[in-house]
A and B are shown apart, each in its own frame.
Chain A
Amino acid sequence: MIDFAAVQQALSDRLRATAGLATLLYENAETPQPIPQQAYVSSAFAPGTVTVTTAIGPTLSLEATGVLKVLYHGLKGRGAAGNQTAVTAIVTQFAGWRTSLGNGDTLRIRTDLLPAPGGSYEIDGGWFVTPISVFWLVQSHLTTS
């Protein structure tokens, strides 16, 4: 079966390795509190559904899709353009990326739905949030007895 924990870890590792990213990562935890006037990144892992793509004999090919929602909390006042460098770095980090997981499954970023920033919005606390949807796909095989 598909190891969603491994998928989440691989995507998180990839995000953390983004060059030039803000130094503070705030991974959907209540603490530590975000530091005022410090840009930061949070992410949420949202698996979608799993489907059987082919069944040849006892071997099933499975495909799972989902989204890694990355939120870049840039500094308010700089606007979308002012935070564009980091947002572009995150998009570039994921575009076209693929990897093999420990169990042999293949994780790749979808090419029919490219990673892309959504509409930015301001929130209290001095941040300007830009959501980035990273659409991923996992291909796996399952042998039934």
Chain B
Amino acid sequence: MTSFSEKMRAFALTVDARSKAAFVNIASATLGSIRDGSPITGAPGQPVDTGALKASWQLSFDSPVSARVSTDKVYAPGIEDGIDMRTGKPLVFRSTVGGPHSVALTIAGFNRLVADEVSKLGASGA
């Protein structure tokens, strides 16, 4: 017969596992929204010319409770803001995919992204 303390320990382990799964999935979904676009946030994702910008977006985990989505491309701010960083003119996007403001729209829709990932875990856990 399972004791109460054993049940509590099992429950705590389940909660911990679900929390970690949710965190990793939310971080991955954030990267996906910025890089590839998302119908949940409305982010268009990165436009593609050579594919270098899209490939440069990375997800890293600084700690068990901190994740970072980043790119090292110096022109990424211009793509995000829709501005030609040489001329100051608005960018004209020729790519058939992606567009500007993916980071901002991902931030704006982050609550929905979280809700979606948590719902995917379901009631019984990952």
Residues of A within 8 A of B (CB): 28-30, 34, 42, 44, 46-49, 51, 65-67, 69, 71, 73, 110, 112-113, 118-119, 121, 123-125, 127, 129, 131, 133, 135
Instruction: Give complex CA distance A53, B105 in Å.
Output: 19
Residues of B within 8 A of A (CB): 39-43, 77-78, 80-90, 100-101, 104-105, 107-109, 111-112
Can you list 15 A-B pairs with a CB-CB distance of less than 8 A?
Answer: A28-B82, A44-B82, A46-B104, A48-B41, A48-B109, A51-B112, A69-B81, A112-B111, A119-B77, A121-B77, A123-B78, A123-B86, A125-B88, A127-B88, A133-B107
Interface centre among A71, A112, A119, A133 (most CB of B within 10 A): A133
Interface pair A66/B87, CB less than 8 Å apart? no
Interface pair A46/B101, CB less than 8 Å apart? yes
Q: Binding site of B, secondary structure by majority: helix, strand, loop or mixed?
A: loop
Instruction: Give complex CA distance A127, B86 in Å.
Output: 10
Q: Provided the pairs A42-B90, A49-B39 are in contact, do residues A123 and B109 lie with their beta carbons within 8 angstroms?
A: no
Interface pair B81/A131, CB less than 8 Å apart? yes
7 closest residue pairs by CB, A with B: A48-B42, A46-B101, A49-B42, A67-B104, A124-B86, A123-B85, A28-B90
- B100: chain A residues at CB < 8 Å are 44, 46, 69
Instruction: Give complex CA distance A110, B85 in Å.
Output: 29
Instruction: Give complex CA distance A29, B107 in Å.
Output: 26
Interface pair B88/A67, CB less than 8 Å apart? no
- A67: chain B residues at CB < 8 Å are 101, 104-105, 107-108
